[in-house]
Structure 1
Amino acid sequence: MRLVERLKEHSEELGKGVHKKLVRDLEARLDITLPEDFKEYLYELNYAAIFGDPIYGINPDDEMFDIYSQNKSKEHFRYGFLEIFANDIDGTIYIRPDTGAVYNSDFGEPIAKSFTEFVEILLRQGS
């Protein structure tokens, strides 16, 4: 099942997605290329809450959930990590735009090979 369908099936709150131009603008402002599965999430949803915790999107009106605001000029971003999620159990979660791998805040080994795999892990934890 596709990532977006899984999120729609299990999310309490969903966004409406954003135009591809906004994603390209974000990539240009941060000087990165986002992984395809994360871009798909932005295009189709741009916001999803899993067990009450949001996956960040392009939300300039709400800096707490805005990818740009949560990353620009932050130390983790200078080392190639993009903050995309945080909760009390898993802590802060980051994606490496260059590899697509997902990490927790110890930045050791990836906790998932992709954003899609990370979402699947989150959904399994809540089952």
Structure 2
Amino acid sequence: MKYRQLTKEQFESLHKEFAQFLATQKIDIGEWNKMKSQNTALVEDELNLFSDLVWDDVLNKVEYLEHFSKTSVNLFKCEKEAVYRIVVTINKEIDLLSEQGYKWLLENPKNTAVDYLKGSKIY
């Protein structure tokens, strides 16, 4: 398994896609119900395989990612052969997760308490 397994809610929202996936595996509803009661290891394998397919599809479509914490912002641009990253770090008692802290950053991008780091990684 490359990624984490989808949550119950995620599986429920993708029930049509999961049924199609099972059909490609030549597993009908009767066979699936039988597997659930008799072979939980195989069920887990199928759930994990479907989860990986979903995550691969989602991640292949991602162009931009952002991650905020109280003191930093990580911005990513994902291209076919490389990912580019900008990190903004605040060395001051500012909470970037609050509206006030985010506004402070927008109004003070050149403040000495703000550090920038830029990098990339080719895959």
Bigger Rg, structure 1 or 2: 2
Tell me the TM-score normalized by structure 2.
Answer: 0.22
Greater strand content: 2
